[in-house]
DNA sequence: CCAAAATAGATGTATTTGCATGTATCACCG
DNA sequence: CGGTGATACATGCAAATACATCTATTTTGG
């Protein structure tokens, strides 16, 4: 099979689209991380608590968490050290794989996640809801999910 | 005037939308920065060269650049130090404001930006173009631009 | 079953980042 | 004007991050 060469206009469109997605993320993230909630805990550390809180089993492998954040493996390992030192998460050995580490929230971790989460969600809503109609938000959600799914499958 | 209280479903939609936008950015960025082009220059440093290359006058104030990247003022100052040491950019004093610094690309900086840029754009196209139709990309572009414009105006 | 390769995570170490602060210039107001 | 506060950028220093490497476990191929 031959792979069709992309036209230069198609390449340009993709580049512009990514550029805009990236810049909008920068703009929103800048505002969000300036919120007072993240004086208590840096947003990257909160994100790990959040990810754990969303997980049905309550526990995740470090390498699974690593897929969700833009950090190197060693940086995540140390970030988790900090969370563990503060008593917000607990490491345990994965039952089915002796190399793996399962991470779970402690009661204090759940508490802090919810506390920060409430404020964070408010901030998000203040920033995103007035910018786009509900239909536009649903479409943006759909498109970013589709993009993410494609990238993950590649 | 009374500000309408957002419904909880509206808050939830905004939060989910942002979450998806953010994760898609993480997924794409992870791939892009793993590209071989960014062995030569970290992607954050490339981004500054790119921003300068797009600018009509060829020069930008540091604080303008700072609005486009997710870095503190001091981190950008040091990033520019590194670029300057490598001979890729030049600092000059802003003519209309003695406090300000104008940053411009050197010939070597332009060269390297183009070189990395060609490969980078190819990588973007490979990741984004097959994921979404042209119409979907245009819509994603429109929505992220709208979001960014709102956030910037706030 | 065993040896070799692969994978998960931790750790030493150099680099990058951010916070607090410093210096210089500018803008405003009496 | 003159002085007070604001703005733009740089810098000292502590913290976070990445790269290379290490250990331990699992997987694979003979």
Is residue A131 one of the residues assigned to a domain?
A: no
pLDDT digits (tens, 9 = 90+) for B27-47: 999 999 999 999 999 999 999
Give the SS3 label for residue B151.
helix
Is residue B132 one of the residues assigned to a domain?
A: no
Residues B30-64, buried b or exposed e (16+ Cβ, 10 A)? eebbebebbeebebebbbbbbbbeeeeeebbebee
Is residue B80 one of the residues assigned to a domain?
A: yes
Footprint of strand C on the protein (CB under 7 A): A 61-63, 66, 73-74, 77-78, 80-81, 91, 94, 97, 99-101; B 42, 44, 70-75, 78-79, 82, 97-99
What is the pLDDT at residue B154? 83
CATH label of the domain that carries residue A87: 1.10.10.10
Distance, CA of A85 to CA of A90 (rounded, Å): 9
What are the residue ranges in chain A where pLDDT is below 50? none
Q: Average pLDDT of chain A?
A: 96
> What is the count of structural domains for chain A?
1
Distance, CA of B63 to CA of A23 (rounded, Å): 16
Tokens of A22: 């990236």
Is residue A82 one of the residues assigned to a domain?
A: yes
Angle CA A45–A49–A54, to nearest 5: 140
Residue identified by tokens 């759909």 is A142
> Can you tell me the ipTM of this complex?
0.93
What is the pLDDT at residue A98? 95
Footprint of strand D on the protein (CB under 7 A): A 42, 44, 70-75, 78-79, 82, 97-99; B 61-63, 66, 73-74, 77-78, 80-81, 91, 94, 97, 99-101
Is residue A68 one of the residues assigned to a domain?
A: yes
Is residue B135 one of the residues assigned to a domain?
A: no
Where in the sequence is the domain holding A97, given as residue range(s)? Answer: 41-120
What is the pLDDT at residue A102? 98
Provide the shortest C-alpha distance from residue A148 to chain B (in Å): 5
Residue identified by tokens 């799914």 is A149
Distance, CA of A146 to CA of A18 (rounded, Å): 14
């Amino acid at each position: 099979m031959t792979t069709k060469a992309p036209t230069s206009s198609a390449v340009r469109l993709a580049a512009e689209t990514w550029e805009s997605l990236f810049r909008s993320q920068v703009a929103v993230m800048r505002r969000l991380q300036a919120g007072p909630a993240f004086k208590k805990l840096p947003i990257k550390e909160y994100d790990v608590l959040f990810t754990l809180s969303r997980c049905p089993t309550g526990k995740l492998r470090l390498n699974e968490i690593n897929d969700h954040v833009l950090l190197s493996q060693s940086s995540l390992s140390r970030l988790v050290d900090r969370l563990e030192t503060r008593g917000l998460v607990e490491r345990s050995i994965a039952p089915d794989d002796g190399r793996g580490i399962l991470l779970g929230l402690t009661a204090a971790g759940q508490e802090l996640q919810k506390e920060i989460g409430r404020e964070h969600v408010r901030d998000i809503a203040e920033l995103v809801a007035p910018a786009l109609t509900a239909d536009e938000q649903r479409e943006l959600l759909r498109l970013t999910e589709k993009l993410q799914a494609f990238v993950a499958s590649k």
